[in-house]
């Protein structure tokens, strides 16, 4: 279940009013008080209502595929030469819609989302991430957050490839940030299955602002086994990056703040403008045939529940870490922040249709189906790739870890924690390299939290409700219902798992890869930035 706070964007104010008992006008006024510039009880100018814009006038932009600058020696001294890329973080002016002035955003490689990085499984590459951003931030920094204090530079960056099996020195540790005029070069071995990954900022204390500004892009790993499946490819493979933002009438981004100027952090940021590959209400012309569509939820905090109108089957073939055992047909596809889905949609037989991609009542984009039938030689195989389930008996350790929220006297959130432990405390999770553990994630909050572990992939075992009152008063975990198996489209390898409110979610994690320090955290970025992130250390055996 997605709780009420998950829907508190301006685009859902009417639904929120029903839940809260307040009128829509009162909700609008309350929302205005969270906008930049709202001080001393005077609401700021309202944000743009995207529904006033003409829909489907901009074609869907597709991220360009990055090309290497040259080839250079890989680390390790073995003489291997690998592709070398140079990707700069830069301020840009982006057109979100035909009828809006250009928006100031921060980009990788001059576009939002950034260029698509592509590689093959087992083929390494070097990427120099160059910080060419301005010296001043244009979104509201909360200097009271850990890692964002006033003695830190306003503008900092560090890049994490989300889902990458990457050595720790190239993983984008949140405290390894660097300032404009500097760069870092990371080596990515890519010794992992083909999958849709993504790269994004991971700077301690301002990660939510940097990603909201536009610092994200896609990272695709391919291999010959996947190639042989004859899935739709080339121009029939379409990436979709979903994200929500609030935009002012002049086209500029608006990020919400609290009523306290000394502590402007808010627990979640939801926008009324839903961007697909950086555009509002784009359209895509498609043929009457199968398309492979690879989707990222790149929002700060919004959960998307996707469907097509008129209804067309969505065949999910992959999740975070690659292909599922076989296609799973879904009517609604739910994605938490950070999650990805690989789907096949067949537009054959829908001549001339105008198909909408929806999330509940929200319209995201339009597919315009051609009227002429075409030959389609691509396939949707019944079997995709073996995903053996990990036996629980293989786990050498089980950890019980809580998801916690700090509330003040009026039940306002003051921040989140993992296992009641702030970021700066000593590392408590130290799994051994090449061992398997079960992590029991006990959610003591009213929110759904997408929990992401760096470097590893895992499988979801089950979810189970428990007696919250008994746990809080006696410390004992008593289940109140049977274990619920993961959904069919969660039976692949994952790196981000939804942990439902008042529920224990169990994941089984093989710590295969590299020794060193990594992090695990909630991928609601406002939570992550306010202490819902912890380091963990993979110890060499």
Quick one: pLDDT band at residue 37, thresholds 50, 70, 90? very low
**DSSP-based three-state secondary structure for 155:** coil
Q: With CA atoms as reference, report the closest residue to 35 among 201, 214, 272, 205.
A: 272
pLDDT digits (tens, 9 = 90+) for 473-522: 999 999 999 999 999 999 999 999 999 999 999 999 999 999 999 999 99
Range from 32-41, 257-266, 273-282, 482-491 carrying the lowest mean pLDDT: 32-41
Say how far apart CA 177 and CA 203 lie, in whole Å.
6
Residues 48 and 118 in one domain: no
Range from 33-37, 119-123, 232-236, 341-345 carrying the lowest mean pLDDT: 33-37
Work out the burial of residue 291: count CB atoms within 10 Å of its CB; fewer than 13 is exposed, 13-18 middle, 19 or more buried. buried
Residue 525 DSSP code: H
Cβ–Cβ < 8 Å for 288, 348: yes
pLDDT digits (tens, 9 = 90+) for 371-412: 999 999 999 999 999 999 999 999 999 999 999 998 887 777
For residue 336, is it within any domain?
Answer: yes
Percent of the chain with pLDDT over 90: 89
For residue 143, is it within any domain?
Answer: yes
Residue 39 has pLDDT above 80, yes or no: no
Residues 174 and 256 in one domain: no
Range from 209-213, 341-345, 474-478 carrying the lowest mean pLDDT: 474-478
Quick one: pLDDT band at residue 44, thresholds 50, 70, 90? low
Residues 411 and 337 in one domain: no
CATH number for the domain harbouring residue 366: 2.60.40.420
Residues 487 and 367 in one domain: no
Tell me, rounded to whole angstroms, the distance of Cα 86 from its chain centroid.
23
Residue 167 has pLDDT above 80, yes or no: yes
Residues 526 and 441 in one domain: yes
Confidence at residue 131, expressed as pLDDT on a 0 to 100 scale: 98
Confidence at residue 385, expressed as pLDDT on a 0 to 100 scale: 97
Range from 40-54, 230-244, 407-421 carrying the lowest mean pLDDT: 40-54
Cβ–Cβ < 8 Å for 473, 528: no
Q: What is the mean pLDDT of the chain?
A: 92
For residue 387, is it within any domain?
Answer: no
Q: With CA atoms as reference, report the closest residue to 157 among 138, 125, 129, 128.
A: 129
Quick one: pLDDT band at residue 25, thresholds 50, 70, 90? very low
pLDDT digits (tens, 9 = 90+) for 402-440: 999 988 877 777 889 999 999 999 999 999 999 999 999
How far separated are the first and last CA of the chain, in Å rounded?
Answer: 40
Q: What string of H, E and C letters represents the secondary structure of 135-148?
A: CCCCCCCCCCCCCC
Confidence at residue 411, expressed as pLDDT on a 0 to 100 scale: 73
For residue 382, is it within any domain?
Answer: no
Confidence at residue 45, expressed as pLDDT on a 0 to 100 scale: 72
Say how far apart CA 106 and CA 363 lie, in whole Å.
25
Work out whether the CA dihedral 275, 276, 279, 284 comes out positive or negative: negative
Instruction: Name the domain count of the chain.
Output: 3
For residue 386, is it within any domain?
Answer: no
Residue 28 has pLDDT above 70, yes or no: no
Q: What are phi and psi of 342, to 5 degrees?
A: -110, 120
Say how far apart CA 527 and CA 6 lie, in whole Å.
13
Confidence at residue 406, expressed as pLDDT on a 0 to 100 scale: 87
Residue where a domain stops, chosen among 212, 227, 242 = 227
Residue 457 has pLDDT above 50, yes or no: yes
Residue 32 has pLDDT above 60, yes or no: no
Quick one: pLDDT band at residue 43, thresholds 50, 70, 90? low
Residues 68 and 213 in one domain: yes
Work out whether the CA dihedral 266, 270, 271, 272 comes out positive or negative: negative
Residue 529 has pLDDT above 80, yes or no: yes
Range 267-292 average pLDDT: 97
Residues 154 and 303 in one domain: no
Strand partners, 479: 466
Residue where a domain stops, chosen among 173, 200, 227 = 227
For residue 181, is it within any domain?
Answer: yes
Residue 17 has pLDDT above 60, yes or no: no
Say how far apart CA 539 and CA 537 lie, in whole Å.
6
Residues 115 and 221 in one domain: yes
Residue where a domain stops, chosen among 227, 251, 278 = 227
> Residue 203 sits in which domain range?
63-227
| Radius of gyration (C-alpha) of the chain in whole angstroms | 22
Edge-to-edge strand ranges of the sheet holding 159-162: 117-120, 216-222, 195-201, 159-162
Helices (H), 183-279: 207-213, 224-227
Question: In angstroms, what CA-CA distances link 274 with 18, 62, 472?
Answer: 22, 16, 39
pLDDT digits (tens, 9 = 90+) for 189-198: 999 999 999 9
Question: In angstroms, what CA-CA distances link 37 with 7, 34, 73, 115, 260?
Answer: 23, 9, 50, 34, 11
pLDDT digits (tens, 9 = 90+) for 490-499: 999 999 999 9
For residue 528, is it within any domain?
Answer: yes
For residue 503, is it within any domain?
Answer: yes
Confidence at residue 19, expressed as pLDDT on a 0 to 100 scale: 31
Residues 283 and 213 in one domain: no
Residues 196 and 289 in one domain: no
Range 222-249 average pLDDT: 98
Residues 257 and 353 in one domain: yes
Residues 238 and 356 in one domain: yes
């Amino acid at each position: 279940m997605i709780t009420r706070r998950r829907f508190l964007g301006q685009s859902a104010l009417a639904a929120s009013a029903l839940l809260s008992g307040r009128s829509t006008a009162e909700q609008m006024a309350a929302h205005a008080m969270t906008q930049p510039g709202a001080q001393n009880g005077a609401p700021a100018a309202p944000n743009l209502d995207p529904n006033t814009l003409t829909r489907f006038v901009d074609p869907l932009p597709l991220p360009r595929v990055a090309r290497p600058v040259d080839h250079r020696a890989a680390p390790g001294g073995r003489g291997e030469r690998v592709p070398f890329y140079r990707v700069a973080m830069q301020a840009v002016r982006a057109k979100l819609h035909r009828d809006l002035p250009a928006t100031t955003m921060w980009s990788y490689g001059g576009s939002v989302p950034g260029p698509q990085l592509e590689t093959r499984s087992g083929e390494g590459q070097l990427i120099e991430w160059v910080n060419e951003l301005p010296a001043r931030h244009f979104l509201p920094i909360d200097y009271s957050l850990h890692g964002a204090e006033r003695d830190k530079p306003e503008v900092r960056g560090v890049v994490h490839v989300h889902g990458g099996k990457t050595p720790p020195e190239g993983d984008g540790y949140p405290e390894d940030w660097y300032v404009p005029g500097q760069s870092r070069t990371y080596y990515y071995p890519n010794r992992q299955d083909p999958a849709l990954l993504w790269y994004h900022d991971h700077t301690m204390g301002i990660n939510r602002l940097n990603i909201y500004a536009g610092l994200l892009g896609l990272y695709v790993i391919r291999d010959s086994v996947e190639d042989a499946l004859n899935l739709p490819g080339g121009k029939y493979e379409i990436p979709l990056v979903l994200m929500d933002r609030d935009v002012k009438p002049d086209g500029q981004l608006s990020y919400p703040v609290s009523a306290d100027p000394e502590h402007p952090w808010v627990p979640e940021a939801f926008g009324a403008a839903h961007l697909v590959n950086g555009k509002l209400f784009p359209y895509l012309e498609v043929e009457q045939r199968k398309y492979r569509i690879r989707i990222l939820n790149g929002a700060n905090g919004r959960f998307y529940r996707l469907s097509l109108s008129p209804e067309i089957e969505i065949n999910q073939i992959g999740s975070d870490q690659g292909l599922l055992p076989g296609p799973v047909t879904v009517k609604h596809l739910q994605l938490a922040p950070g999650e990805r889905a690989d789907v096949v949609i067949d537009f054959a037989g829908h001549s001339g249709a105008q198909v909408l991609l929806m999330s509940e009542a929200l319209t995201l984009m339009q597919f315009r189906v051609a009227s002429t039938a075409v030959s389609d030689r691509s396939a949707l195989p019944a079997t995709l790739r073996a995903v053996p389930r990990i036996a629980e008996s293989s786990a050498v350790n089980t950890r019980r870890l809580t998801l916690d929220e700090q509330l003040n006297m009026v039940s306002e959130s003051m921040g989140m924690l993992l296992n009641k432990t702030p970021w700066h405390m000593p590392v408590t999770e130290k799994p051994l390299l090449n061992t398997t553990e079960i992590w029991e994630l006990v959610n003591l909050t009213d929110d759904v939290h997408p929990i992401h572990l760096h470097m590893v992939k895992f499988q979801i075992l089950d979810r189970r409700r428990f007696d919250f009152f008994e746990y809080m008063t006696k410390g004992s975990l008593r289940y109140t219902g049977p274990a619920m198996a993961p959904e069919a489209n969660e039976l692949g390898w994952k790196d981000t798992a939804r942990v439902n409110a008042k529920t224990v979610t169990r994941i089984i994690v093989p710590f295969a890869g590299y020794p060193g320090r990594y992090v695990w955290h909630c991928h609601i970025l406002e939570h992550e930035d306010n202490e819902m992130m912890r380091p963990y250390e993979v110890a060499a055996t």
